[in-house]
Amino acid sequence: MKGFVYLLEIAVASILITVVLGTFFAIRIKESWQRSDLIAAGNNILNYLKYNESFLINILNGNLSDIDRVKSGNIKYGLEIVGSPKSMIRVGCVERCGYVKNELLSPVYVNNRWINFSVQEFDIDEFETIPFYFDAVILLNFTDYSSQRQKIEDYLDDGGMVIGINATFNNNDPDFNEVFDLNGVVSASSDLKFSPYDPSQDKIAKYFLGFGFDASSSWWIWENEWAVDYTPTYVNISKVGAIPPENRTFLNEGEVFDLPGPDSDYHFKVKRISYPERVEFQSLNTSFTFIDFSENNVKGNNFNVLRDSGSNFAGLTTNNSAVWTSDFIYSDEYRTLVKAAIASKTDDWVAKTLVTEKDTVTVSSFMSLCCDMPELLELKLSLAYIL
């Protein structure tokens, strides 16, 4: 009898083990199948987006309908873009916002799409923190760094970007100096260049050259004005006040021409004729020279984007996402420099957030846009089942 009970206990235990192990492996197989299925679905979506450049541009414009069109109804997703700015960059400003909006941040046409800047004024004193819905904040001739430093640094730590445009370095303002990591120097005036042109180290120069310059009736370059006259098919430019006259005539879209720069002749291209709104010119020299617009008494401890040949002083520096540039007179290369700085620090962003308690997978793919500048971007697609 005892032997029979023993055998019965063994049989029952075997059945229980079989049931438990079967359930365990079924769960593991289901989880493995779901993960594989989500990865396959994500790769299919990314492959579909590669099919047509317009799909990618739609995403950068905030339109995700091409993803929704091919996505399975039982899947939800999130999307992050790395390496290309969104097509509407939200910029906050504290002072002289009309100048920032109308003079500095004109729209950019690059790689077959528009990049626009939405400028909103805000009172920094009225906020406990700088609103995080701003992609970037411009502080133009702002002087209250001592009382607002914590807000600025909290905003930077949370992924924001700040560009300070101030003419004068002040050794007596340690908060301003530490936000942008600046150090006082003594040096003579000299032309400024990018140092060096290396997009893997800093992307401001890449965006500067890719964005180019927009002009309607006049084009300011190297602080000289060129009158602009154009038709749907060609452009004429003439240097204002030049004796003898200096002209470049019947320039077709895509045509290359030379202009005398501060140190040598430079090559430009008629990038686009948008008759009757504007014409866009593009510099083709990575060694583009800026007339010295700094006060020759400051450089950054982190990275000097624009500097003199001996790296003795700088006109624009970066401290991670805190960018400082000296104030400047009106000329298009300085406007483009500000737009390039903003774009270079806001080209990693979330197009759609995925909120779920389910297990997720992430797949990614590199895609490219051309041809005004090299633009290799990564799409990171996170997916989960709805149920």
Instruction: Supply the pLDDT for residue 200.
Output: 84
More confident residue, 187 or 379: 379
> Is 97 in a helix, a strand, or coil?
helix
Instruction: Supply the pLDDT for residue 9.
Output: 45
Q: How far apart are CA 41 and CA 21, in angstroms?
A: 30
25 pLDDT band (50/70/90 cuts)? very low
Tally of CB atoms within 10 A around 157: 10
Average pLDDT for 144-156: 96
Tally of CB atoms within 10 A around 98: 10
Query: Is the model's pLDDT at 18 over the cut of 60?
Result: no
Q: Which amino acid does the sequence have at 314?
A: A
Average pLDDT for 15-34: 47
pTM exceeds 0.85: yes
Query: Is the model's pLDDT at 124 over the cut of 90?
Result: yes
Is residue 263 within 8 Å of 163, Cβ to Cβ?
no
Q: Specify burial of residue 57 (Cβ count, 10 A radius: 0-12, 13-18, 19+).
A: middle
Q: How far apart are CA 294 and CA 191, in angstroms?
A: 10
Q: Which amino acid does the sequence have at 52?
A: N
Smallest CA-to-CA distance from 204 within 89, 341, 35, 86 is with 341
Enter the tokens of residue 49.
């987006």
Instruction: Supply the pLDDT for residue 8.
Output: 42
CA 170 from centroid of its chain's CA atoms: 29
Q: Which amino acid does the sequence have at 332?
A: D
Instruction: Supply the pLDDT for residue 170.
Output: 65
Please tell me the number of Cα atoms within 13 Å of 101 on its side-chain side.
13
Ranges 120-124, 195-199, 281-285, 351-355: which has the least confidence: 195-199
Query: 262: cis peptide before it, omega within 30°?
Result: no
Strand partners, 270: 281
Tally of CB atoms within 10 A around 37: 16
Enter the tokens of residue 240.
């204002």
Query: Is the model's pLDDT at 142 over the cut of 60?
Result: yes
DSSP state for residue 126 in the 8-state scheme:
G
